[in-house]
Every structure is written in C-alpha cells, then in structure tokens.
Amino acid sequence: MDSKKEQLLGLVQHNPFISQQDLAERLGLSRSAVAGHIAALTRERRILGRAYVMPQRRPIVCIGGSNIDRKLRSLASLQMGNSNPAVSSESPGGVARNVAENLARLGLPVHLLSAFGEDAAGRALLAQANSLGVDCSASLIAADAPTGSYTAVLNPDGSLALGLAQMDLCERMTPDFLRQCASQRAQAGLLLIDLNLPTESIQQLLLEALAEGSPALAAVAVSAPKMTRLPLDLRGLSLLMLNRDELAACAGIAIDRDADLALAHQRLSARGLRRLIVTQGADALWFGTAGEALQSLKPKRAKVVDVTGAGDAFAAGVCAGLSQAPEDLAGACRLGISLARLTLQSERTVSPELSPALLQTL
C-alpha cells in the first residue's frame, strides 16, 4: 500500500475541496506527485471527477446563519417591565450552523456556507466547526461587522418567552456570494438553506434547483416575519420545514384547525412546493407531498430542559434521513423527532449525545 496515497485520500475525505498545493504542503510532496496520486485514485474510482467527490459521500451543504446564542433563563415567572433574576449561558448557534453541527456529530459529511465577523465570536465559531469536521472554507468573513447573535429569554420551564436576533451579516450572502461558492454547492447531495438569506439569493437557489442534475433543495424557516423572503414561485423547492405560525404567514391564512393545514398545503403546492413538514411542538407534526393528503406523527412526551435548538435538530434529522432514503419522508420525520427529543432534554443548543453510532440505532 502506498502510504502517501492513503494519507492523501484521508485528507480529501475530510475536505473534498482541498487544493493540490495544500495537499503537497501537508504531505511533503511535489505538486506533480500529488497529481499522480489523484490520477491513480480517480482510475481506481476512489474519488470521482472534479472537487474530489467521494463515492456515496457527497456532503450535505447548509447555507444560512451562524451566530452566538445567549440564553437568559428566568428563575421565576417573568414580569414585563421589571428586572427579573435569571441564569445565563452562551453557546454556538444559528439555524444553518446548528443543523450542520447536528449532522457532523452524526458522522455525515457536511459543509457550511455562512457569514462570520472577524472577531472573537467568529473565530470561536469557526474553530468549533473545524473541530467537528464541518468545512467552512467557502464562508464569508467580514472585517467590518460583528458575528451575529441570538438572545433567548426563557421561562423557568425552559420554554421561549422572547427571542432577539441580530443577523445583519447574513444580508451579505448575496447572489454574488453564491456564485463564488458555486463549485461547493454543485457537489452537494442535498442543499439545506435557512431563511436568513436575502430574498434574491433564495430566488437564485430556487432557479438553480430546477436545472437537471441539481442537488435537492430544502428550506427551514427561521421566524414568521422572515417567511416573506420566500418568493411566490416555489418551483425548485423540494421541501419546506416550518411551524404552524410560520405556515400561516407563508400561506396567508389563519391556521386554527387541521382543515386549515390541508388548505395551506394545497396553496403552497399550487405555488410549486413539492413536500411540506409542519411542526407543532409537542403536538402532532404533519407532512406530505403535493397532490397527496397530509399525514401526521405524534412525538413522544419528553422532559423539556431547554427548547432552543430542538427545531434545528429536527431539521438535521430530516436531512440525514433523506440523504440515505430520499423518498422516505415519514422515516426522515421519525429520525428528526428522535434528534429533537434528545435536544429538548439537553441544556445545550446541540445535544452532545449525538454520534455516528446513534444514527444506526434510531
């Protein structure tokens, strides 16, 4: 066995977008020697084509927000307009970033295209992602703006009382930014976006998703106000994941009954959406494909320590499931429920109990 060739393969598996120059420097080889090893691995079908795509290991690419989560948990019932005693904590956050971390902890190849400030928070987020094997090399780094932040004010039972998001940096993830990282996106097995992205960027991704051979595109909502970022024409969007309030904002109707869910599903399907998942906390979630009736699943009761990140864990579970069985939406939802349950029982935004072994048992 050629040990240098195997070492090169290991580096490529960790980062399929690594340059030949970086490979040469890390392995102490000449560029021509690296090129020879790459040619041999390509002939052996151990890497495939451009960007060193690994067989059956195309990454899930998450595009959207990264920020620092700050949680303030009240020690007693909140009194508006008054000072409330609380305990505080801080951890990495952001919808797309959280999904990426969940997937990485499950042992899946994942790339994160996000925006970070050139500050202590940004450096900490990038270092943590790197330690988990999340490739952020194509992300935007801004020297003139702070890394985003999300402050959650929690009730004593861990439920959310108020959330405050400062995500201005995501507005720089423009169509020009997307064009700069087109090669990374093209190699994805699945693209997952959050709605922190600007409207014009979401529109571009939807148009690209319509092209033959493009990766499936899934979207996870961020908040009801940001549902306006979705265009009316949803063709190209394979899956939309949101909660009841976000669905009401997106469909333009009040959702008070199950019949309203069905009507909202019909409206979004008419706009071109292929599949829909609607979460409702501890209540039944609904999922379905355009032209078919919605189905439901009832999550098992869980002791809630902190709700922060549970929705992102659910989205990660769905992505993980679909990456293995693209047409099994019910199975993907069940996996999402299992991951969300673990997160609800953790004080952290992403449960430290996640592991590749866990994926085989869920």
Domain 3-52 matching CATH 1.10.10: the answer reads yes
Strand partners, 297: 285
Sign of CA dihedral 168, 170, 172, 174: negative
Give residue 17's pLDDT band: very low, low, confident or very high (50, 70, 90): low
pLDDT number for residue 268: 98
Angstrom distance (rounded) from CA 150 to CA 163: 7
**pLDDT-derived band at 48, boundaries 50, 70, 90:** low
Distance CA 255, CA 126 (A): 40
Distance in angstroms (rounded) separating the CA atoms of residues 343 and 353: 9
The model's pTM is: 0.80
Q: Which CATH topology does 60-361 take? A: UDP-N-acetylmuramoyl-L-alanine:D-glutamate ligase (3.40.1190)
Ranges of each domain in the chain: 3-52, 60-361
pLDDT in tens, 169-202: 999 999 999 999 998 898 899 999 999 999 999 9
Euclidean distance between CA atoms 228 and 221, whole angstroms: 11
Report the percent of the chain where pLDDT is more than 90. Answer: 63
CA distances from 191 to 110, 210, 243, 249, 290 (A): 10, 13, 20, 24, 20
**DSSP labels, 9-66:** HHHHHH-TT--HHHHHHHHT--HHHHHHHHHHHHHTTSSBTGGGBPTT-PPEEEES--
Length of the chain: 362
Q: Looking at residues 307-327, what average pLDDT do you find?
A: 92
Average pLDDT, the chain: 90
- Domain 3-52 and domain 60-361 have a common topology: no
More confident residue, 79 or 241: 241
